[in-house]
A and B are shown apart, each in its own frame.
Chain A
Amino acid sequence: MLIFDHSRPGRTATAQLPPESGSLDDLPAEFRRKAAPALPEVSELDVVRHYTRLSRKNFSIDTQFYPLGSCTMKYNPRACNSLAMLPQFLARHPSAPDETGQGFLSCMHELQEILKDVTGMAGVSMAPMAGAHGEFAGVAMIRAYHDARGDTARREIIVPDAAHGTNPATATMCGYSVKEIPTDANGAVDIEALKAAVGPQTAGLMLTNPSTLGVFETRIVEILKIVHEAGGLAYYDGANLNAILGKVRPGDMGFDVIHMNLHKTFSTPHGGGGPGAGPVGVAQRLLPHLPIPLVLNDNGFYRLATEADVPQSIGRMSANLGNAGVLMRAYIYARLLGREGMHRVAEYATLNANYLMAKLRNAGFELAYPERRASHEFIVTLKKLKDATGVTAMDFAKRLLDYGYHAPTTYFPLLVPECLLIEPTETESRETLDGFVDAMIAIKREAETNPDLVKGAPYTLPVRRLDDVKAARELDLAYKPAA
């Protein structure tokens, strides 16, 4: 039932209506609306009940184990939300002068310094509002750097074929062409292919480490040296920063620019697909190009930097300081964890991933990279199972939903057939992981004995498998009541 089905002409959530006041007669009739928008006419209880019921049709971290690879679905501490929503913080207008926001700005400045430290970068801007937005800022800075030096022949970005789709899409948005390089049998960048790919046209390389294949790029120093010697810059995609938080810093690996996904590594909520926050960090030579605003500390007075402070900035990413409330949640998380807590993130995320990988291997699941350590995530391939039973990775994923587990990431990375990318995160207990292994074993047995059962899954959710083809062919993007 849609909220519109609850609507009755003349019904209102009366407590929410401001008093009737004033006339609009001074607005010329030609600019006035002729017919009121057909929004729902419902009571407050209708709204609360409808949306509370809808919420119960979701899987979430708070209700289920959610091992969605590359997404770092770890516990979002409740204090981060309640403290970020203190009324003074919520009431502050973004254009209010810095003098009226020293409490807020001090938190932002401290977060900026913490992010610099954990990434090993010389400067950080928190302006970008999501990972892809941070990628855009990062590649735009690479371009600004080359352009400022008059090095304008560099128009190509190198991306491994295992990269997240945002990498090539971002390069295009920055006016670059994309060159893909292959991955070797161990899941590492093909060094010879990289050597052949670099040249005077190379603006930079975008790399995730650990890679999207869940393994650490062990020859990272050599890779970056090849790119740097060719005159390119190295971009670190922070999608998998949780795997190395407190262990290895991208700046120490030699990266020139990085973005972080605070909705992953710093546990801000994913919120059904956002809002995120995608701060960027840079090495010394890119400092002049950071997007504004930055948070500056002038002898104890905190203020937002403007164009005058950063004249070569790539500019502004949003009307204000990015997703400020998300940054606040990340700051609170950082204060709760502290230094030791940060070091533990990668340790326990890696412990959980390797434990889960070992248990699944022992249970007969095939690993994509059996010779490698897992980072914070790893890949199982169901190719043999599919060949034997017809059950695909998608079928397997849907059946996991019936067992009460959110599915791992399926069919990404594209290189590994019938793959499940599994990321347990550090906040899950051993018992939870064991329960998940039991479910995986049970589904594998079902696939071998009764494959149709798995192919028809799920059975216990609000809907069964949806017709995506119909959704795309007979577009129904907004409700229109039958006439």
Chain B
Amino acid sequence: MPFIPHTPDDVSAMLAAIGASSIEDLFDEIPAGLKSGKLASVPEGESEMAVTRLLHERAAADGFWSNFIGAGVYEHHIPAAIWQVTTRGEFYSAYTPYQAEASQGTLQLIYEYQTMMTRLTGLDASNASLYDGASALAEAVLMAVRAHKGKSRRVLMPKTVHPTWRKVVVATVRNQGIEIAELDYDTATGRTVLPAEPGQFAGLVIPQPNFFGVLEDVHAMTDWAHTHGGLALATVNPTSLAVLEAPGQWGATGADICAGEGQPLGAPMASGGPYFGFMCCRQDFVRQMPGRIVGRTVDLDGKPGFALTLQAREQHIRRSKATSNICTNQGLVVTAAAQYLSLLGPEGLARVASASHANTKALADRLTAIAGVKRAFASPTFHEVVLQLDDKASDVLRALRAQGILGGYDLTAAYPELGNAILVCVTETKTAADLDRYAQQLERILSKRREAPPCAYKN
């Protein structure tokens, strides 16, 4: 029996101790009519060897691709040590550190992670993580509404924030009577346009870089939010913080809350997760922050130790009045992130950021030299760039795919006003040869399609 150690003798002895004659007797309180029959859709169990073979076949079917898609999830090198240590049973198979004395490993690690995140973001406090970047942004919006002194239930959301993240935010907050007002962007610069008459709002979301890779004027946006009585909610790519200004230093007094996607810090792309959302804030707002928080304290002998703290905010104490229904963090992925930030250090993270940026710039220069390809925006970008094609984006991406290249994220559905636009990302993992290959293939595809347009009747 897979993962059940009982021998027939064990079962008989245990039933005797209980005073039952069969295992079925133990279910005698369940009305007979409710008992289910055989599970029709569950296949027969297989040995580990057979399942291994099956999964290897499926993995091989998916294969490897030369990936130039970013859009919130970034392909960075992950040091081998990280997941070897992270999947040690003591981390992998432990639970939420309720028994602090028996969980000092996880608790200290989270405290170190919180410290690293405050240093990256330039804010005072960090929680132990949330589910992912999109849901962390939704929680930041809820937090801003709780913390806002003017009791406004309106939050300003630039359209330059990841389109799916915006959907997640709306799905999360809409039942609480919170309005998400979207802000347009300038199609020449790719930067958010601040309205002249914003009305009252609890917070302004400020992405840096924004979904297009464009640098927003975060200083002006932060000050503008504060001038109008709202909180400044930063959402950032953590890798960029090695070289871009920390949200705590934005504008005159800094952003108030920062939330984002932690995936670039050691989590594999893995079709979407698990990743983790990070959240940091100024000291004034700590008690409004959702999720687990670890604090340092002392034990009975005065020796330093770590424990979950500020639990009075949480659902198991506050029930319907809690700051959020969240119980878990993404502990295991944060275990990886703390090691990633330690292994890279300030020097390594800056090199990852610079190399990604340099590679993106090099590729953008190569691609925009091709007839029919141009940059969409004139503004400075970091690590990612929007290119406009004079041909149908989905067809071009499909043709690149036939050459093993995932050429970028198709923006036409979310941003039809940009025409045939794709969002292209290059990280430090790509070589000059990879960039050459992309450029050569794109040039070939575009010129071939120009010379011999595909038949309109052929799909």
Contacts and interface: CB of A to CB of B under 8 A. Distances in A.
Interface stretch (B81-89, B181-189, B223-231, B443-451): B81-89
Contacts of A73: 93, 95
A461 B111 CA distance: 19
B196 interface: no
A47 interface: yes
Contacts of A37: 116, 119-120, 241-242, 246, 346, 349
A31 B357 CA distance: 15
Nearest to B314: A165
Interface stretch (A192-200, A213-221, A380-388): A213-221
A36 B344 CA distance: 13
A370 interface: no
A164 B77 CA distance: 40
Max count, chain A CB within 10 A of own CB: residue among B54, B243, B319, B338: B319
B91 A55 contact: yes
Interface stretch (B144-152, B287-295, B433-441): B287-295
B1 interface: yes
A365 interface: no
Contacts, number: 681
Max count, chain B CB within 10 A of own CB: residue among A22, A169, A171: A169
A319 B44 contact: no
B328 A269 contact: no
A42 B317 CA distance: 40
Interface in A78-102: 79, 81, 83, 85-97, 99-102
B95 A66 contact: yes
B51 interface: yes
Contacts of B366: none
B97 interface: yes
A291 B172 CA distance: 11
Contacts of B97: 272-273
Contact of B55 (A47, A86, A316): A86
A301 B10 CA distance: 47
B96 A270 contact: yes
Max count, chain B CB within 10 A of own CB: residue among A24, A39, A318, A326: A39
A58 B1 contact: no
A94 B26 contact: no
Contacts of A48: 81, 85
Max count, chain A CB within 10 A of own CB: residue among B26, B44, B134, B333: B26
Interface in A247-270: 247-249, 252-253, 267, 269-270
Interface in B28-62: 28-31, 34-36, 38-46, 48, 51-52, 54-62
Contacts of B162: 319
A334 to B, nearest CB: 7
Contact of A18 (B45, B77, B102, B218): B77
Interface string B12-34: 01110111100100111111001
A104 B58 contact: yes
Give the interface size bracket for B toward A: 35 or more
Contacts of A33: 241-246
B195 interface: no
Contacts of A415: none
B354 interface: yes
A479 B125 CA distance: 10
Given A272-B97, A428-B5, A479 B115 contact: yes
B101 A398 contact: yes
A178 B164 CA distance: 31
Interface string A291-321: 1000000000000000000000011111111
B384 interface: no
Nearest to B327: A132
A116 B296 CA distance: 44
Given A81-B92, A397-B99, A429-B10, A348 B105 contact: no
A272 B298 contact: no
B412 to A, nearest CB: 14
A130 B270 contact: no
Max count, chain A CB within 10 A of own CB: residue among B51, B102, B335, B346: B102
Nearest to B348: A17
B328 A335 contact: no
B176 interface: yes
Interface residues of A, number: 198
A364 interface: no
B24 to A, nearest CB: 8
Contacts of A61: 89, 93-94
Given A33-B243, A62-B93, A94 B295 contact: no
B380 A172 contact: no
A323 interface: yes
B418 interface: no
B358 A91 contact: no
Contacts of A174: 175-176
A135 interface: yes
Nearest to B246: A33
B227 to A, nearest CB: 19
Interface stretch (B198-206, B302-310, B368-376): B302-310
Contacts of A351: 6, 11, 14-15, 18, 23, 26
B75 interface: yes
A213 to B, nearest CB: 13
A476 B297 contact: yes
A202 to B, nearest CB: 16
A169 B354 contact: no
A22 B18 contact: no
A83 to B, nearest CB: 4
Given A169-B322, A335-B43, A477-B114, A58 B295 contact: no
B54 to A, nearest CB: 7
Nearest to B137: A319
A446 B105 CA distance: 29
Contact of B59 (A103, A216, A326): A103
B271 A94 contact: yes
Contact of B81 (A18, A44, A456): A44
B4 interface: yes
Interface string B101-126: 11111101111101110111000111
Nearest to B125: A477
Given A68-B95, A140-B171, A429-B10, A47 B34 contact: no
Contacts of A22: 354-355, 357-359, 361-362
A354 B52 CA distance: 35
8 contacts: A27-B357, A58-B90, A90-B270, A96-B406, A319-B272, A335-B45, A461-B102, A464-B301
4 residue pairs, one from A and one from B, having the closest CB atoms:
A22-B358, A338-B45, A62-B89, A320-B272
